[in-house]
Structure 1
Amino acid sequence: MVFSNGERIYVSRQAEVCTMRIMFMSSRQLGETVLQRLVERGENVAGVASLVVAPGTTNRMKEAATRLGIPYVEAKNGRSPEFYEQYIKLKPDLNIMARFRTIVPESILNYPKLGTIGWHPSLLPKYAGADSLTWAIIFGETKTANTILWTDKGIDTGPILLQKEVEISPDDTSASLYHDKITPGAVETIVEAVDLIKNRTAPRIPQDLSRYSYYSFITEKDALINWVQPAKRIYDLIRGTNPYPGATTHFQDRPFKVLDSELHLGFEGSALDAVTVAAIKAGGVIDITSQGIKVVAPDGVILIKAVNADGSKITAAHFADQVGLKVGDRFGMH
Structure 2
Amino acid sequence: MRRLLRVVFAGTPDFAVPHLAACRRDGIEIAAVYTQPDRPAGRGRKLAASPVKQAALDFGLPVEQPENFRDAATRARLAAHAPDLIVVVAYGLILSRKVLAIPALGCWNVHASLLPRWRGAAPIQRAILAGDAETGICLMRMEAGLDTGPVLLRRAIAIAPDDTGGSLHDKLAALGAEVLAEGLDRSVRGEALPATSQSADGVSYAHKLDKAEARLDWNDSAAALERKVRAFDPWPVAEGVVAGELLRVWRAESRDSGPGTRDSGEIVAATRDGIDVACGDGALRLIEVQRAGGRRIAAADYLNARPELKRGAQ
Q: TM-score, normalised by structure 2?
A: 0.89
Amino acid across the alignment from 2:181: V
Q: How far 1:321 moved relative to its partner?
A: 4.2
Task: Give the secondary-structure state (helix, strand or coil) at the position aligned to 1:310.
Answer: coil
- Greater relative CO (CA pairs within 8 A, separation 6+): 2
Q: Which residue of 2 aligns with 1:221?
A: 212
1:158–1:207 CA contact under 8 A, matched in 2 = yes
1:79–1:103 CA contact under 8 A, matched in 2 = no
Amino acid across the alignment from 1:195: D
Distance 2:312 2:218 in 1: 13
- Structure 1 window deviating more from structure 2 (37-46 vs 21-30): it is 37-46
Q: Which residue of 2 aligns with 1:35?
A: 20
Q: Which residue of 2 aligns with 1:233?
A: 224
Residue-by-residue CA offset, 1:174-216 (whole Å, 9 max, x unaligned): 111111x212111101111212333332111110123211121
Which one of the candidate residues 88, 99, 120 is aligned to 1:108?
A: 99
Residue-by-residue CA offset, 1:286-319 (whole Å, 9 max, x unaligned): 2222232111224322110112332532222333
Residue-by-residue CA offset, 1:211-249 (whole Å, 9 max, x unaligned): 211121111222222212222111111111112111221
1:173–1:242 CA contact under 8 A, matched in 2 = yes
* Alignment root-mean-square deviation, CA: 2.3
Q: Which residue of 1 aligns with 2:272?
A: 290
Distance 1:83 1:315 in 2: 51
Task: Give the secondary-structure state (helix, strand or coil) at the position aligned to 1:283.
Answer: coil
Which one of the candidate residues 80, 86, 95 is aligned to 1:89?
A: 80
Residue-by-residue CA offset, 1:122-177 (whole Å, 9 max, x unaligned): 11101110111111101100100111111111111111111100110111111111
Structure 1 residues 107 and 232, CA gap change in structure 2 (3 angstroms): same
2:271–2:310 CA contact under 8 A, matched in 1 = no
Which one of the candidate residues 164, 170, 173 is aligned to 1:183?
A: 173
Residue-by-residue CA offset, 1:7-52 (whole Å, 9 max, x unaligned): xxxxxx2xxx443210100123333322223224351111111001
For 1:101-250, what aligned pairs fall within 5 Å after superposition? 101-179=92-170, 181-198=171-188, 199-250=190-241
Q: TM-score, normalised by structure 1?
A: 0.84
Q: Which residue of 2 aligns with 1:21?
A: 6
Distance 1:281 1:30 in 2: 41
Structure 1 residues 104 and 88, CA gap change in structure 2 (3 angstroms): same
1:250–1:256 CA contact under 8 A, matched in 2 = yes
**Identity level (%):** 25
Structure 1 residues 310 and 85, CA gap change in structure 2 (3 angstroms): farther
- Structure 1 window deviating more from structure 2 (153-162 vs 75-84): it is 75-84
Amino acid across the alignment from 2:98: S
Structure 1 residues 176 and 60, CA gap change in structure 2 (3 angstroms): closer
Structure 1 residues 98 and 304, CA gap change in structure 2 (3 angstroms): same
2:242–2:265 CA contact under 8 A, matched in 1 = no
Q: How far 1:325 moved relative to its partner?
A: 5.4
1:228–1:297 CA contact under 8 A, matched in 2 = yes
1:262–1:303 CA contact under 8 A, matched in 2 = yes
1:18–1:200 CA contact under 8 A, matched in 2 = no
Q: Which residue of 2 aligns with 1:310?
A: 292
1:140–1:236 CA contact under 8 A, matched in 2 = yes
